[in-house]
Amino acid sequence: MSGGGRPLADIRLDGLTTTGEPPPRLRDVSLHVRYGELFTVLGPPHSGKTALIRAVAGFLPLAAGRVLVDGRDVTALPPAERSMGIVFQEGALWPHLSVRGHVAFGLEQQGMTAADVEQRLAQVMRRLGLTDVERLRPDALSLEQRRRLALARALATEPRVLLLDEPLAHLDPVTRKSLRLELAHLHRDLAVTTIHVTRDAADALALSDRIAVLRDGAILQFGDVEQLYQRPASRVVAEALGPATFLPVRVVEVRDLGVVVETDAGAQVPVAGIGSFRTGDRGLLVMRPETLSLTEAMMGRGPGLPGRVTMRVFEGARYLYEVDINAGIPLRVEVTAPSQTRIFRLGDAVRVECSSETVVLVPET
């Protein structure tokens, strides 16, 4: 578990396409996962995430395309010869084997000596917090422990590539955050090249070096985490990456460094970094709750939207507001509690302020 047992891998997926049942099918999926990178494929249920993991691992035949590891085509190799560890969504644990038996199985298949198996077992068990339950079988473990066991089994053989199929799915929020942090530590320390698929934007944003958004078996957009979050190319990509309000607008001015858009209620907002929109074009203004702020209606200075508070929820560290801006949909605003100089009440007239750098304009469709 030192991270230095095997060299890091570079993975290229070249036009992966599948056919047959059941759908969804992969449609010309091409990606490059760099040495030691944690690359996340983010998508809703039935978008093709598990099919992608199974195709890379060798469990799902390809109709077209190639899987290359360090330039070597491994498409025709069986799963056992690809040096890939895989954690399936439901764990795929064997009910008759103990925790210890699960982790030892792959090591024994590699032909390791008994002494080496014992040494590796001790390292993996300690690292994944399984030492106290090594004699138990899967049905006696909590869901978190079963997820840790699946990770331990995959990592014990020191694979060059780690494939994670929604490893945090169905965990309660507290456990999910804890295991998410553990995954981040594991990747930092082991630096194994990892392809991680999930439907959860928080998992993707917290863990990834880069993200690709998958829909109906095809990649819609990929890039660095911050780039994708701040500059989604479409509503579908923006929705996949977390909560946002999508406000219908019209471009009323084109500037050197962006555009000015106008809501149906007549409020104008500048948007930076737009290249393909022209005066008169319709679009959707993507407004993330945490990028907005509230001021009293008569005190706003920057670009903003007048409205009235229709809901307020206190969550300890933050306030969540909904503001009616006369657009037919409420605008959600998230304010960190310690920075809130005034707590607004239902019915208060306010101004929602935003930055031209944090709002995004995307096409209507």
- Max CA distance (Å), the chain: 76
Other Cβ atoms within 10 Å of 310 Cβ, number: 14
User: Which positions ≥6 away from 40 have C-beta within 8 Å?
Assistant: 195, 196, 197, 198, 203, 204, 207, 208, 210, 211, 212
What pLDDT was estimated at residue 365? 77
What pLDDT was estimated at residue 114? 86
Query: Phi, psi (5° rounding) for residue 292?
Result: -105, 160
Looking only at the bridges linking them, the beta strands covering 38-42 and 210-215 are parallel
Listed as ranges, residues in the chain with pLDDT below 70 are 1-6, 21-22, 91, 300-303, 338-341
What pLDDT was estimated at residue 5? 52
Helix (H, G, I), strand (E, B) or coil at 66: strand
Q: Is the peptide bond before 24 cis (omega within 30 degrees of 0)?
A: yes
CATH T-level fold of 11-237: Rossmann fold (3.40.50)
What pLDDT was estimated at residue 91? 64
What pLDDT was estimated at residue 276? 85
What pLDDT was estimated at residue 86? 93
Looking only at the bridges linking them, the beta strands covering 193-198 and 161-165 are parallel
What pLDDT was estimated at residue 237? 97
Is the fold of 11-237 the same as that of 244-362? Answer: no
Domain 244-362 sits in CATH 2.40.50.100 = yes
The C-alpha angle with vertex 155 and arms to 154 and 156, in degrees rounded to 5, equals 100
Q: Is the peptide bond before 22 cis (omega within 30 degrees of 0)?
A: yes
Domain boundaries, the chain: 11-237, 244-362
Looking at residue 56, its amino acid is V
Closest CA to 182 of 217, 147, 157, 135: 147
